[in-house]
Amino acid sequence: MPILILPELVVAQIAAGEVVERPASVVKELMENALDAGAQHIRIEITGGGRQRIRISDDGSGIVPEEVELAFQRHATSKLTTADDLAFIETLGFRGEALASIASVSQLTIITRHASSSSGILMQLAGSEIIRRQSVGAPVGTVITVENLFYNTPARLKFLKKENTEKRQIALYITRYAMAYPHVRFTLEQDGREVFRSNGSGQLADVIVAALGLDSFKNMVEVASRESDSAMRPEITVTGYSSVPSLHRADRNHITLFVNGRWIQDTRLSYAITQAYHTFLMTGRYPVAVILVKLPPAEVDVNVHPTKAEIRFRDPEGIFSAVQRAVRRAVVDLAQTPAMRGGRFGGISSNHDNLAEWENSPTGQRQLGMNLDLYSAGGYTRTPLAPQSDAPEAIPEGPGAPQKPRTLPILRVIGQIGATYIVAEGPSGLYLVDQHAAHERILYEQFMDEHARHEQVAQLSLEAQTLSLDSSEARLIEENLETLREVGFDLEPFGPNTFIIRSVPALLADQSPTEVLGGIIADLEAGTSPGQASIEDKIVTRVCKHGAIKAGQILSTDEMQSIIRQLERCRSPHTCPHGRPTMLHMTSEQLARKFGRLG
């Protein structure tokens, strides 16, 4: 095959693959152009997850009529003119590839009017080809409509993710840039429904409340630091908000970083923020943070990746130290002022904000009597386990006989250690049973068996409670509303990113539903783990984790015996649904050897 120069359209479509990976990429590039144009109000309208239509309107400076066509040529930009300008980039865009790439894989319409023009320009393109151009009346600013994205690249189209996934990703981009530019009003509308709005007040706190919810913001502390150690080191400003230790997540995805107004992904800076919580958070838990770093443009190389999400620092160690010190200082200062903090993911449930009232309640008195930490997960009441008799006549025969085969030997309960482990004796030695893990396994198999028989999961009607989420979490809940309903959660949309909790599974009757749902959201964000057949399985696992008795709960002999009897009939009694062991076994020979009885 001879070597040929590719046609311009093919070159443009190949280049588009680097810049326009998905509908969210289109939104990001057009939004950055609007911000560079000085827009104070940006409106984003999405239909069909961005595949059908994306419309972004702004009140920026607009484009002069004679440059509209030029703007859609590859490498056409107003952001720089020479290679030296790359060292001092202060705009979000600079490559001149976005508009050309988007136009090459979509049907695009632009209406723009520059402040110096008396009328606007309307231009339509299909696959980079101009099919219409005319003067129109329009306000100052730009409106770009992208329709039928990837219509001429079917290979790319078939690899797009689900519509709801694209909606969540778009919402993430919008909320991120709203936090980086709090003085700009952002409005996001998806399929005719407004899902996010910032007020453009210039206060980052206002945007965080709109993006992450009031519950999360109440558990965040302000970060503010300005460093310049010497004349050789430039001034580094670190501002933003980071969570108190009681608010944490299972991954780093909730750490949001900006450098000079640009959202970035940087493993080292994320690690710096995590390290700032050393000794404050358990291993495997990460804070929620929105951190903005500002430093001279010459200290940053943004020309690293086509999407401009990765950057390089001239002094990476200095930036790392500045961010770590700023966040650590804010967290330590907070720790010096003890305060009780509750919320969706930590501390006492919002149902018990009045501590005195709670301590006087039967639940509080029972917990105090056990001499346990009031703020531990064991603070919630549990449905008592039905006592079961060990007598042979208590085991029914005939039609009433147990349907499940025994998977463990008959065990006799001896006692409880540390209000956490059940000590039992079996034919071949000693068993230590983790009461929480064992009960979690029992509830999980009961729940899944009921669902397999298509039995309606018992639900408990509640007084109306609301759950406020950020836009990404709200889209995740909407996507799984039916699955949640099947396992016993009845959630009803109640305004932007807010839901009313009508009912929960009966085994969660004494739990804080907002905390349980918070855990479910974290599981859904993490995706399906290997071996998990479905999202439903993940939700049920979380429900059973919260519904099971907790470590630190003193059990009666009948309650312990009930757990053991039910565990003996489980299909997989040796592990909980998360894979942790439910028991340790020490044989009679091992015991004898420990006591020196076998020589």
First to last CA, the chain: 81
Highest mean pLDDT among 50-59, 324-333, 586-595: 50-59
**Alpha-carbon Rg for the chain in angstroms:** 29
| Cβ atoms of 370 and 552 closer than 8 Å | yes
pLDDT at residue 228 in the model: 65
3-state secondary structure of 306: coil
Q: Of the candidates 281, 276, 285, which has an alpha carbon nearest to the alpha carbon of residue 321?
A: 276
Distance CA 20, CA 29 (A): 8
* List of domains in the chain: 8-201 (3.30.565.10), 213-335 (3.30.230.10), 340-380 (no CATH), 392-586 (3.30.1370.100)
Whether pLDDT at 204 is above 80: yes
Q: Which of 140-144, 162-166, 293-297, 542-546 is predicted least confidently?
A: 542-546
Model confidence at 358, in pLDDT bands (50, 70, 90)? very low
CA distances from 290 to 110, 133, 187 (A): 34, 43, 20
pLDDT at residue 551 in the model: 87
- Torsion angles phi and psi, residue 590, rounded to 5: -65, -40
Distance CA 469, CA 466 (A): 10
Model confidence at 82, in pLDDT bands (50, 70, 90)? low
Whether pLDDT at 277 is above 50: yes
> Which tokens belong to 328?
């650590």
Whether pLDDT at 457 is above 60: no
Handedness of CA 255, 260, 263, 269 (dihedral sign): negative
Whether pLDDT at 394 is above 60: no
Whether pLDDT at 285 is above 70: yes
Of the chain, the percentage scoring pLDDT greater than 90 comes to 27
pLDDT at residue 371 in the model: 38
Highest mean pLDDT among 297-301, 348-352, 395-399, 425-429: 425-429
Distance CA 338, CA 274 (A): 21
pLDDT at residue 229 in the model: 57
* Strand pairing report for 421-426 and 459-468: unpaired
Distance CA 438, CA 548 (A): 9
**Whether the predicted model's global pTM rises above the 0.75 cut:** no
Distance CA 565, CA 389 (A): 9
